[in-house]
């Protein structure tokens, strides 16, 4: 979760018209500014609604596509899954500049007038480039607030949360991006749709007493969800318990003996199509669980209580709502809810 040639002329020219200034609060588009936002501790000003944006993570890209902005995306990168259903045609119009992190130069080759990312690490040291590097060229940047609010990303791994993430942070990203691109009404409509889906998925469900374990990737040293990220949103929405709610790390690596000792009622499994860790697909994860002597006797494995989610649903994105829907449906099918 990284400069060789000089930036192209269009990027350099953008420095004359796009400035990062200290502006408080969020505003609807005006003649003077498309947006003035507080974003992850930075003041971001975008003087014109972007026409040539680069979106560096799948989750943010899917928001832009859902807002009908495919024609304003010059490039996208860093994908774990197929695009969300219903967005296939729009996504086909957007250049995929890299499957994982592109180089800074490759992003600049797309002549961006706005760069957005889902994760602090994407626009930090060791990522594509820092926000300062883009902003020195006059290119405004934006990072999903869900990766900043109540979260410390200064250590190793995927960060640690000192407070639980709420779904409102995801809605906030939708509203922010809709404001930046001058399509506020579309943002309000998308948020209303997501809120309605959440209500429908959780109506009448009580999963108290049910423990869930969320496995994102890696079979040798598996990444399991801590208390307070996107899986925490799902767990709390359903009234269930996360098997590792005693850790505030986003995705701690946990040994299988500890997992077996927790013996969760249901395994929520990431079904990823990328190829950067062991056991990315759900099929490989399940094959491992059912053959490994440490895990094969767990209750959830013996009773095949598996819920399969996309990687994006397990990150704080608009697909986290899809995660709530699928986990709720699974709990109902297993007869584990009141």
Asked whether the predicted pLDDT for residue 192 surpasses 80, the reply is yes
Extract the tokens encoding 294. 């440490």
Q: Residue 39: which residues within 8 A CB-CB, separation 6 or more?
A: 142, 143, 145, 148, 176
Q: What is the pLDDT of residue 47?
A: 93
- Cβ contact 251:281 at 8 Å: no
pLDDT digits (tens, 9 = 90+) for 233-278: 999 999 999 999 999 999 999 999 999 999 999 999 999 988 778 7
Asked whether the predicted pLDDT for residue 8 surpasses 60, the reply is no
83: DSSP letter: P
Question: Which domains, from first to last, does the chain contain?
Answer: 9-195 (3.40.50.1980), 205-333 (3.40.50.1980)
Rounded distance between C-alpha atoms, residue 107 and residue 115, angstroms: 9
Reported confidence tier of residue 34, pLDDT bands at 50, 70, 90: low
Asked whether the predicted pLDDT for residue 83 surpasses 50, the reply is yes
Q: How far is CA 191 from CA 38, 74, 173, in A?
A: 20, 25, 10
Bridge partners of 241?
Answer: 211
Rounded distance between C-alpha atoms, residue 329 and residue 334, angstroms: 9
Asked whether the predicted pLDDT for residue 28 surpasses 50, the reply is no
Angle between helices 167-180 and 320-333 (to 10 degrees): 150
Taking residues 174-192, what's their average pLDDT? 97
Taking residues 191-216, what's their average pLDDT? 97
Q: What is the pLDDT of residue 331?
A: 97
Across the chain, how many H-helices and E-strands are there? 12, 14
Asked whether the predicted pLDDT for residue 69 surpasses 60, the reply is yes
With tokens 């010059």, the residue in question is 74
DSSP string, 122-190: GGSTTSS--HHHHHHTT--EEE-GGGTTTEE-SSSTT-EESS---HHHHHHHHHHHHHHTT-HHHHHHH
% the chain with pLDDT above 90: 85
């Amino acid at each position: 979760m990284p400069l060789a040639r000089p930036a192209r002329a269009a990027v350099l020219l953008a420095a004359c018209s796009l400035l990062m200034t200290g502006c408080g609060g969020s505003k609807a588009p005006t003649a003077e500014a498309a947006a003035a936002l507080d974003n992850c501790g930075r003041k971001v000003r975008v003087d014109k609604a972007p026409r040539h944006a680069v979106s560096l993570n799948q989750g943010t890209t899917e928001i832009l596509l859902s807002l009908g902005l495919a024609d304003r995306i010059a490039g996208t990168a860093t994908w774990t899954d197929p695009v969300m259903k219903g967005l296939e045609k729009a996504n086909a119009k957007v250049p995929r500049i890299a499957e994982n992190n592109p180089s800074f130069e490759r992003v600049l080759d797309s002549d961006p007038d706005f760069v957005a990312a889902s994760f602090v690490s994407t626009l930090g040291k060791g990522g594509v480039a820092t926000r300062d590097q883009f902003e020195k060229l006059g290119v405004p940047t934006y990072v999903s607030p869900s990766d900043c609010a109540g979260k410390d990303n200064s250590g190793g791994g995927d960060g640690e949360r000192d407070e639980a993430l709420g779904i409102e942070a995801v809605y906030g990203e939708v509203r922010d991006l809709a404001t930046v691109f001058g399509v506020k009404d579309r943002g309000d409509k998308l948020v209303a749709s997501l809120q309605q889906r959440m209500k429908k998925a959780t109506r009448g469900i009580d999963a108290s007493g049910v423990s869930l374990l969320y496995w994102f990737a890696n079979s040798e040293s598996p990444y399991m969800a801590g208390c307070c990220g996107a899986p925490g949103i799902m767990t709390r929405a359903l009234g269930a318990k996360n098997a590792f709610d005693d850790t505030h790390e986003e995705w701690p690596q946990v040994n299988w003996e500890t997992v077996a000792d927790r013996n969760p009622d249901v395994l929520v499994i990431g079904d990823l199509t990328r190829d950067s860790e062991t056991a990315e697909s759900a099929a490989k994860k399940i094959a491992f669980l059912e053959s490994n002597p440490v895990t094969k006797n767990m209750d959830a494995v013996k009773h095949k209580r598996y819920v399969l989610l996309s990687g994006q649903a397990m990150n704080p994105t608009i697909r986290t709502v899809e995660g709530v829907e699928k986990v709720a449906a699974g709990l109902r099918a297993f007869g584990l809810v009141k």
